[in-house]
Structure 1
């Protein structure tokens, strides 16, 4: 039995925080649940978007790096994120909404066996909106300060696509280290799940030779997987230490986590469900104002001085 409960969040790179904020709040209708900084590099914004309260499994996070260049796509990278919606009508809604905002999208089609809509964000980050049911994402908390109707809101993270040179090695890691199960295997891709009947724990492995991706704006930095609490995280840490060297457990204020990079160079984080984004904020003011982990509070004046303010309107 796996300790992994599904996807916790994904972290990406953006060149411009203001533009990023606009797209994920005004276009995708997500709530910005945390405006903070990279705890390891506090001169850098770290933006979190999710459902109303930041339910585990709904968060997309972005590091702002103003000097970053373009992404040169290739292998050994996390290459596409799926976001779950409730119905075929939702795909039609999003097709029309994204087109109306001048975005190039593919017609309603399929992805990984799901009815889907494929598109890219303004920085080239690849997405699939997929129609599926998910036990984990039934906890989704609707956000009422968006013009996206509740019936069509993004419920959370679905299948995550990873492209690698050595599919067997990463598959072994997913099974042995994270307790996942191989649920299907084809010529083009192999699918693993931590929770067998839940799309919110699905990882799609594609094998591809060639040049390794050179990350830039719109690239995916890492995938974080969910565990219930620190006790489960420590058990995962023990399992990881049998094959890899991890970061050890780190207190990220909103959750505790550890990081490990597997053989193909894919960076995984494992993060606890709690205490969550409400640990330093009430629900009404979530995502407003610069939030800092306690260890960074003594540096607040210098940190705020170095950041370009984001217009929330």
Structure 2
């Protein structure tokens, strides 16, 4: 198996309509698919991504109504970092977030890259990262975000584990990822 990156990442929402509005209208991602959670068919599974639902662009959510807000901590995926095409895109996002009253960090440096940290309305921590113009991701043509500033896909995730060794072994040995 040759993995070149993250295929998708999944989180939980307690409010599907709020989630849909934020990820499509604020972040400009396309609702690629709405299906059911195969393990709990009473819950929706919402898929957001690029124009064609490319691997490596999708953030998905299981809809469990009345789920509480996200609480980062041990045993959780805390940050989802998304790629944008350069510093000019980050500057545009600062203005967009200010106009839409989305609290954010402003442009900061994270692991040697320019980035903006923020949260969705339910507290999921997100980061936009300058990807230095890396290829991939086809901006959604009906997005409220202009294509030159659009989110291109997943960059990274941050996981907090009490005992990181078993998780690290699975990620590096079984899935071929690298420690950073």
Query: TM class, shorter-chain normalised?
Result: over 0.9
Would you say how many aligned residue pairs link Structure 1 and Structure 2? 180
Aligned to 2:141: 144
- Distance, in Å, in 2 between the alignment partners of 1:69 and 1:25 is 22
State whether residues 115 and 131 of structure 1, in contact with CA within 8 Å, keep that contact through their aligned partners in structure 2. Answer: yes
Which has the higher Rg, Structure 1 or Structure 2? 1
Q: For residue 90 of structure 2, what is the aligned residue in structure 1?
A: 91
Q: Give a deviation string over 1:223-261, Cα, whole Å, max 9, x none.
A: xxxxxxxxxxxxxxxxxxxxxxxxxxxxxxxxxxxxxxx
Instruction: Return the alpha-carbon distance in structure 1 between the equivalents of residues 73 and 172 of structure 2.
Output: 25
Q: Which runs of 5+ in 2 are unaligned?
A: none
Which residue pairs with 2:121 in the alignment?
A: 122
Alpha carbons of structure 1 residues 134 and 38: separation in structure 2 relative to 1, 3 Å: farther
Equivalent residue number for residue 79 of structure 1: 78
- Listed one character per residue, the Cα deviations across residues 10-63 of structure 1 (whole Å, up to 9, x for unaligned) are 111111111111111111111111011112222211111100010000001111
CA deviation profile, 1:45-98 (whole Å, cap 9, x unmatched): 111110001000000111111121233432121110100011111111111101
Q: In the alignment, what sits opposite 1:197?
A: none
Q: What does 1:294-309 align with in structure 2 at a 5 Å threshold?
A: none
Alignment CA distance shift 1:7-1:134 (3 Å): farther
Cα pair distance change 1:39/1:169, threshold 3 Å: closer
Picking from 137, 158, 162, the partner of 1:161 is: 158
What is the alpha-carbon distance in structure 2 between the residues aligned to residue 9 and residue 134 of structure 1? 20
* RMSD, aligned CA: 1.6
Distance 1:146 1:181 in 2: 33
Separation of aligned partners in 1, 2:106 and 2:141: 28
Residues 180-234 of structure 1: CA distance to partner in whole angstroms, max 9, x if unpaired?
334xxxxxxxx1xxxxxxxxxxxxxxxxxxxxxxxxxxxxxxxxxxxxxxxxxxx
Q: TM-score, with normalisation over the residues of structure 2?
A: 0.93
d(CA) in 2 for partners of 1:34, 1:175: 30
The 8 Å contact of residues 31 and 49 in structure 1, kept in 2 or not, is answered as: yes
- Measured after TM superposition, the shift of residue 134 of structure 1 is 7.0
1:200-211 to structure 2, matched below 5 A, reads none
Q: Relative to structure 1, is the Cα distance of residues 66 and 181 closer, same or farther in structure 2, using a 3 angstrom cutoff?
A: closer
- Looking at structure 2, the residues matched to 71 and 82 of structure 1 have their Cα atoms a distance apart, in angstroms, of 16
Aligned partner of residue 106 in structure 1, secondary structure: strand
- Give SS of 1:173's match: helix
Matches within 5 A, 1:192-271: none
Cα-to-partner distance string for 1:86-140 (whole Å, 9 max, x where unaligned): 11111111111011111111121012221100000110000110001475xx231
Q: For residue 79 of structure 1, give the secondary structure of its aligned residue in structure 2.
A: strand
1:174 to partner: Cα distance: 2.0
TM-score (norm 1): 0.55
Unaligned stretches of 5+ residues in structure 1:
183-190, 192-313
Superposed displacement of residue 175, structure 1: 2.1
